[in-house]
Amino acid sequence: MTDRPVVLIAEELSPATVEALGPDFEIRNCDGADRAELLAAIVDVDAILVRSATKVDAEALAAAKRLKVVARAGVGLDNVDVKAATQAGVMVVNAPTSNITSAAELAVALMLAAARNVSPAHAALKNGEWKRSKFGGIELFEKTVGIVGLGRIGVLVAQRLAAFGMTVIAYDPYVQAGKAAQMGVRLVDLDTLLAESDFMSVHLPKTPETAGLIGADQLAKAKSSLVLVNAARGGIVDEDALYDALKTGRIAAAGLDVFAKEPCTDSPLFELENVVATPHLGASTEEAQEKAGIAVAKSVRLALAGELVPDAVNVQGGVIAEDVRPGIPLTEKLGQVFTGVAGELAQQLDVEVRGEIADHDVKVLELAALKGVFSTVVEDQVSYVNAPLLAAERGVAVRLLTDPESADHRNLITIRGTLADGSQVSVSGTLVGIHQRERLVEVNGYDIDIEPTNHIAFFTYDDRPGMVGTVGQILGAANVNIAGMQVSRDAKGGQALVALSVDSAIPAETLSEIESAISATSIRAVDIV
């Protein structure tokens, strides 16, 4: 017998998966495709790791008396009953970003193969036929490609095809024009995309709204030279309509990796020379499989430790939106900065979320803020599970406030607290640029712009000449290197704030020396853990 949590691996996974789980778990294996073996093996395990062959349905969940986590080492969840798992209190996680590079590269491969007639030329040559003149193709260079769905994979495809010298347009009603413009992509409606595109690549999820999105009416609006690629989900492109369009020359060619019903080995599309097809290979690379295994192993570790799992699909009953996820670590850091600046716990704590992400469920950002606030306050390990309990035990009233409007930033997260003496402390942060870089942009009403590095300090003093130089000189003498510095003031000759990010923690005696030298009214150092 062992006290270690039991993890059941029900399908063959990368060896790196077990390595990522580490020594803290008892690892068991079974053949998840064998129903009887699965139902017997799942009874007393804490977590199960699967791929696509193991069905974790209501029956399996009912048999699993101790189960806490179902981890799918991949993107799709067709084989997991998420609703039944949620009702049973079982977390479901997957690896949503594990295959994005592999899927994007396959889409480009299919596009090139279709453009250059690679499949029929290869088949002819293997059949002893040398047909150079028959299989002439077209270049991608200086052509227009339409990306249908500008999510993570669509963005990667757009970046790669831009490098081919293509003009990139996209259709995605859930993406802001400004965000697309940052990537050099012009947003258009679907009809315009069909009319302008020489090549077209589909990268949408399969939903009731997207099923059959590209049908006969849409294909009738396309150029006769269009090369269409679908490496996303089968059924988004109507296969009967696509066959007719390819057969009659309404469009030129297609590259397909997915089909409405899979496995698919018998389709009229396979009879056409202007179709190149693969058997759903989007995620079938060594790298994608290894990434998926490692990602879900990490999620299992987090889940069984009571931590927030960003890749959980049913956390708090719903998905953590893709646009919200980058704000989680930023908000946790803001919580730590708040505690460092306040020097005590607030009686009332408001987590304010402004901007586009306020349209999503941002409850997770409240949890992140609390975890950050308490991380240096209590001796016990703080998790996303116990942080609200810690707040309740200490009489901290917490509110989550949202507003879709943000005057100065696309999105802004603020933690604002009222202290015992009635004074208020606030810190704000945002994410900037395509790479979503974290920035600390406000402290107690002072506008700043610094990266929230591991070591930060804030000095408030009466605004007068020479103070910045004095701070720099003292830090230099203490061998503390300044990585970034911002000076802000409420008025000329009024109160000023120096915000510093430094490469190492500032010694207590150095802080005291600075406080004395500049007659600081407030001095705070924050070490983000």
Listing DSSP states for 236-275 in one string gives: SB-HHHHHHHHHHTSS-EEEES--SSSS----GGGG-TTE
Instruction: Confirm if 363 and 320 have CB atoms less than 8 A apart.
Output: no
- The answer to whether 233 is a known catalytic residue is yes
The catalytically annotated residue of 129, 142, 209, 262 is: 262
- Residue 11 has which token pair? 């399908």
The catalytically annotated residue of 233, 354, 360, 416 is: 233
Three-state DSSP state, 484: strand
**Cα separation of 348 and 350, whole Å?**
7
**Cα separation of 524 and 511, whole Å?**
8
- Residue 509 has which token pair? 């005696």
Helix (H) or strand (E) holding 19: helix 15-21
Q: Residue 341, Cβ neighbours under 10 Å: how many?
A: 20
Helix (H) or strand (E) holding 400: strand 397-403
The catalytically annotated residue of 51, 72, 203, 280 is: 280
Amino acid letter, 417:
G
User: Token match 């802004």: residue?
Assistant: 412
Residue 362 Cα distances to 96, 353, 400, angstroms: 19, 8, 9
**Cα separation of 100 and 103, whole Å?**
5
**Cα atoms in the 13 Å half-sphere on the side-chain side of 459:** 27
Q: Residue 99, Cβ neighbours under 10 Å: how many?
A: 23
Q: Give the residue among 139, 158, 138 at the shortest CA–CA distance from 148.
A: 158
Q: Give the residue among 54, 52, 77, 59 at the shortest CA–CA distance from 8.
A: 54
Contact partners, residue 301, CB within 8 Å, separation at least 6: 20, 21, 22, 24
Cis amide bond preceding 120, omega within 30: no
Q: Give the residue among 134, 137, 112, 114 at the shortest CA–CA distance from 125.
A: 134
Residue 476 Cα distances to 361, 429, 483, 526, angstroms: 45, 28, 12, 19
Residues designated catalytic: 233, 262, 280
